[in-house]
Chain A
Amino acid sequence: SYVLTQPPSVSVAPGKTARITCGGNNIGSKSVHWYQQKPGQAPVLVIYYDSDRPSGIPERFSGSNSGNTATLTISRVEAGDEADYYCQVWDSSSDHQMVFGGGTKLTVL
């Protein structure tokens, strides 16, 4: 089955740029989606199809995907961005499964 690998944690100072990676075999050939989850809340979609932003998501959130790594970038990080972030793909190989990365805890210092 397809595996997505995320770093468990990323720390960043306010106003700086945070980059959260999502590794997978030839992930660049798949569409990657990102979710933000704050404690006690349901996940919220922040990036879809690698780099598209849903309405209401700040332009500070952006995404890219190439080779074996997809990246969620958060510019000018704010305290309110502190959350868990999950990448997700649909594995259309023989498994036909939706796959999540293990999640990354973003800490704003």
Chain B
Amino acid sequence: QVQLVQSGAEVKKPGASVKVSCKASGYTFTSYDINWVRQATGQGLEWMGWMNPNSGNTGYAQKFQGRVTMTRNTSISTAYMELSSLRSEDTAVYYCARVVVRDYMDVWGKGTTVTVSS
């Protein structure tokens, strides 16, 4: 079945970087964009950006430009999201999701909790 399996929880200090992985299975990895969405505790969903696994092209939300990098390794069907210069406000659950025609997300990973604390 189609699924996205994300890496485990992370605890980071302010100013550090975090890299979250998202391994796809059950479909052709390069045929669908991957989105990253985050959610702070008790808050709504926040879109971070998209990546095309075939070309490597990316598009980031203005809020995260300069601080986020989305990459992939097609040989292992895995997408990555790296967020730098972490601050406490970045504490959240980070989701990857498969995108259909850059319109909507039909498959989601279970989420990766990132905690930023000194």
Contacts and interface: CB of A to CB of B under 8 A. Distances in A.
Interface residues of B: mostly helix, strand, loop or mixed? Answer: strand
B47 A97 contact: yes
Interface stretch (A19-27, A38-46, A74-82): A38-46
A102 interface: yes
Assign chain A's interface to a size class. Answer: 20 to 34
B61 interface: yes
Contacts of B37: 43, 100
Assign chain B's interface to a size class. Answer: 20 to 34
Contact of B46 (A49, A95, A100): A100
A98 B62 contact: no
B105 A45 contact: yes
B98 to A, nearest CB: 10
Contacts of B104: 31, 33, 45, 48-49, 88
B103 A31 contact: yes
Contacts of B47: 97-100
23 contacts: A1-B62, A31-B103, A31-B104, A35-B105, A37-B45, A41-B110, A42-B110, A42-B111, A43-B95, A43-B105, A45-B105, A48-B100, A48-B103, A48-B104, A49-B104, A90-B102, A97-B62, A98-B50, A100-B44, A100-B46, A100-B47, A101-B44, A103-B44
